């Protein structure tokens, strides 16, 4: 499986804690599914109809909907998840037990996943075959409730309303022309890495107008706005259908985008939106394929200030070689609106994006697959960013994905590492937690102004790894004042002694050191600074010139 597809595959396993599911390519409207059973007599072994299993996964309570049709003991139908629908193939019902395979389409790579189950009273108890993570991706897959391989209970019911778009017939899709490659002018935005909030990491597609307004209010009251977190970005799940002229409409969870944008602006904040160069987003919602200019104009008319543009189903239409032109198409459309909008590419770091992201008018581009709220995921992404440093600079930034700080999956030391590493990278600081929750992570980590200043340093240099000694990894980042930011990370599972040597970034002699997590001056140190670093933790220093 390709690396980017693997990332999304892992994301799905992680989000649902259950079978990886098909992507948007299989999406069908709920209405087009098999009707609810009218002849359902589970006791007699007829399991035709609509079955819903609910469980608490990373996305909160999630529905898996099974539309089953049984004829002569053969099972067909589909499995639906918030990410898309997949056909059921080669199923069989024998007495009170059954099995079927779900054909998962991971961006054109179809894999059959076996599901086995039993009729228990009025329920179906399914024991899905959990695949675990693909090799090399780290981290376990997971079952509902965290019990790997555990069963889910499905009951007859009516699925929740979904605003995902209908299936796309990719073979019949009209070709959209792509522009000839040329460098767009700089839009003048994001002179330092963008800071703000995005709905995805915490809410996924369970997002609405009210939540966004409340988050914006919380950005103000929590002090986040004043610390620089300006952009309130709505990720996937806001889209509805297009009107008769092809103009994109939000779904009923967002009754009036213009009024929402005005509300957010009135709070002294900016607002962002999300789409895809493909016909469908990763969540199976309407994308911008063939509507690029129209969508850009709509975002501008609503008063949007930021677009995250996520490759997703574009991979079904174009090849990696077309990616630059596809992103340039929207870059041009945004610029033609005359409204300054930060342009954020999300294509998981494929096709050497650092080399051309700036040319398509982008202010930031993802460099990796999706982050998870776990140390191994965050560390794997963050510590791999050193080589991307040359691509970062005022107006154009490497984006190792949004922050997980405050979402509960890491220890305070691990979250301090997350924040420090992102600051050293000069990464966008896009919080991904519920700002309404008055957590210590907001107060003590996201609002650490001394660390934010490292990220937002006007020189705009990406930091890089300058030393390693076992689990101790040292990064350095030059600052506009002539000082250096120096981070001593401990990637090990024991607290350890770590040292940063000035010579690793070309210095020697005595320099004053300030500890940016302790908020204390540590004194002057000659040539080297040694300290104890907690497990998975960091000591972050500003070393004076
Ligand atoms: C992809 C992106 C995520 C998020 C989801 C939305 O996985 O990488 O950041 O935007 O799509 O569906």
What mean pLDDT comes out for the span 407-419?
97
The region of weakest confidence among 89-93, 193-197, 264-268, 339-343 is 89-93
Q: What is the pLDDT of residues 495-531, one digit of tens each?
A: 999 999 999 999 999 999 999 999 999 999 999 999 9
Contact (CB, 8 A) for 99 and 114? yes
- Is pLDDT at 29 greater than 60 in this prediction? no
Q: How far apart are CA 308 and CA 296, in angstroms?
A: 12
- Is pLDDT at 171 greater than 50 in this prediction? yes
User: Which band of pLDDT confidence, cut at 50, 70 and 90, is reported for residue 455?
Assistant: very high
Q: Indicate which residue of 310, 373, 399, 413 is catalytic.
A: 310
- Is pLDDT at 490 greater than 90 in this prediction? yes
What values do phi and psi take at 501, rounded to 5? -105, 130
Opening angle at CA 344, ends 341 and 348, nearest 5: 170
User: Which band of pLDDT confidence, cut at 50, 70 and 90, is reported for residue 139?
Assistant: very low
3-state secondary structure 183-219: CCCCCCCCCCCCEEEECHHHHCCCCCHHHHHHHHHHH
What mean pLDDT comes out for the span 83-105?
87
Confidence at residue 105, expressed as pLDDT on a 0 to 100 scale: 65
Dihedral-angle region of residue 290 (phi above 0 means left; psi in -120 to 50 means alpha; beta otherwise)? left
Give me ligand 1 centre to Cα 14, in Å.
Answer: 13
Catalytic site includes residue 370:
yes
CA distances from residue 10 to 291, 399, 454 in whole angstroms, order as listed: 30, 19, 32
DSSP 348: T
Query: pTM for the full model?
Result: 0.84
Nearest alpha carbon to residue 502 among 522, 519, 484, 521: 484
Q: What is the pLDDT of residues 371-400, one digit of tens each?
A: 999 999 999 999 999 999 999 999 999 999
Q: Indicate which residue of 209, 295, 370, 457 is catalytic.
A: 370
* Sign of the C-alpha dihedral computed for residues 427, 194, 367 and 394 taken in this order: negative
User: Which band of pLDDT confidence, cut at 50, 70 and 90, is reported for residue 44?
Assistant: low
Opening angle at CA 227, ends 221 and 228, nearest 5: 110
Mutational pocket test of ligand 1: of 310, 350, 431, the residue with most ligand atoms within 8 Å of the beta carbon: 310
Q: How far apart are CA 20 and CA 113, in angstroms?
A: 8
Average pLDDT, the chain: 88
Cα-trace Rg, the chain: 24
Q: How far apart are CA 536 and CA 482, in angstroms?
A: 29
What values do phi and psi take at 8, rounded to 5? -70, -40
Catalytic site includes residue 413:
no
What mean pLDDT comes out for the span 287-310?
98
Q: What is the pLDDT of residues 234-292, one digit of tens each?
A: 999 999 999 999 999 999 999 999 999 999 999 999 999 999 999 999 888 999 999 99
DSSP 244: T
CA distances from residue 428 to 42, 198, 522 in whole angstroms, order as listed: 53, 11, 29
What mean pLDDT comes out for the span 337-362?
98
Mutational pocket test of ligand 1: of 9, 286, 346, the residue with most ligand atoms within 8 Å of the beta carbon: 346
- Is pLDDT at 32 greater than 50 in this prediction? no
Quick one: which atom of ligand 1 is closest to the CA of 8? Answer: 7
Q: What is the pLDDT of residues 306-342, one digit of tens each?
A: 999 999 999 999 999 999 999 999 999 999 999 999 9
Give me ligand 1 centre to Cα 13, in Å.
Answer: 14
């Amino acid at each position: 499986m390709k690396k980017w597809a693997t990332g999304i595959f892992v994301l799905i396993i992680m989000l649902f804690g259950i079978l990886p599911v098909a992507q948007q390519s299989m999406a069908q409207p709920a209405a087009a599914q098999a009707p609810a059973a009218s002849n359902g007599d589970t006791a007699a072994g007829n399991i035709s109809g609509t079955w819903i299993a609910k469980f608490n996964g990373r996305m909160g309570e999630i529905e898996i909907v099974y539309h089953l049709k049984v004829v002569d003991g053969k099972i067909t139908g589909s499995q639906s998840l918030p990410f898309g629908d997949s056909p059921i193939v080669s199923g069989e019902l024998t007495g009170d037990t059954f099995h079927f395979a779900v054909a998962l389409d991971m961006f054109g790579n179809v894999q059959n996943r076996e599901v086995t189950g039993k009729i228990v009273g009025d329920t179906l108890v399914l024991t899905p075959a959990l695949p675990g993570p693909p090799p090399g991706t780290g981290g376990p897959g997971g079952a509902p409730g965290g019990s790997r391989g555990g069963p889910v209970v499905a009951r007859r019911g009516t699925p929740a309303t979904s605003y995902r778009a209908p299936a796309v017939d990719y073979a019949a899709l009209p070709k959209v022309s792509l522009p000839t490659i040329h460098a767009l002018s700089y839009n003048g935005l994001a002179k330092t890495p963008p800071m703000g909030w995005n709905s995805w990491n915490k809410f996924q597609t369970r997002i609405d107008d009210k939540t966004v307004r409340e988050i914006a209010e919380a950005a103000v009251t929590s002090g986040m706005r004043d610390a620089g977190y300006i952009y309130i970005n709505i990720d996937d799940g806001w889209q509805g259908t297009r009107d008769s002229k092809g103009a994109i409409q939000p779904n009923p969870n967002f009754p009036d985008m213009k009024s929402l944008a005005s509300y957010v602006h009135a709070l002294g904040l900016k607002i962002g939106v999300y789409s895809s160069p493909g016909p469908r987003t990763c969540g199976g919602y309407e994308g911008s394929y063939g509507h690029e200019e129209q969508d850009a104009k709509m975002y501008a008319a609503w008063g949007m200030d930021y677009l995250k543009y996520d490759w997703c189903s574009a991979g079904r239409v174009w090849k990696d070689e077309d990616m630059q032109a596809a992103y340039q198409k929207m870059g041009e459309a945004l610029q033609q609106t005359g409204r300054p909008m930060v342009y954020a590419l999300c294509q998981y770091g494929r096709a050497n994006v650092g080399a051309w992201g700036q040319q398509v008018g982008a202010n930031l581009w993802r460099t990796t697959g999706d982050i998870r709220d776990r140390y191994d995921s965050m560390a794997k992404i963050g510590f791999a960013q050193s080589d991307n440093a040359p691509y970062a600079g005022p107006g154009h930034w490497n984006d190792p994905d949004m922050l997980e700080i405050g979402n509960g999956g890491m220890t305070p030391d691990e979250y301090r590492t997350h924040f420090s590493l992102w600051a050293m990278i000069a990464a966008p600081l896009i919080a991904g937690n519920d700002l309404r929750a008055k957590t210590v992570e907001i107060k003590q980590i996201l609002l650490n102004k001394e660390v934010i200043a490292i990220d937002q340093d006007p020189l705009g240099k990406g930091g890089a790894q300058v030393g390693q000694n076992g689990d101790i990894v040292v990064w350095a980042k030059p600052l506009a004042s002539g000082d250096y930011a120096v981070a001593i990370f401990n990637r090990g599972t024991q607290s350890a002694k770590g040292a940063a040597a000035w010579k690793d970034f070309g210095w020697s002699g005595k320099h004053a050191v300030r500890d940016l997590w302790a908020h204390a001056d540590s004194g002057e140190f000659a040539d080297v600074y040694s300290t104890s670093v907690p497990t998975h933790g960091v000591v972050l220093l500003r070393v004076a010139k």
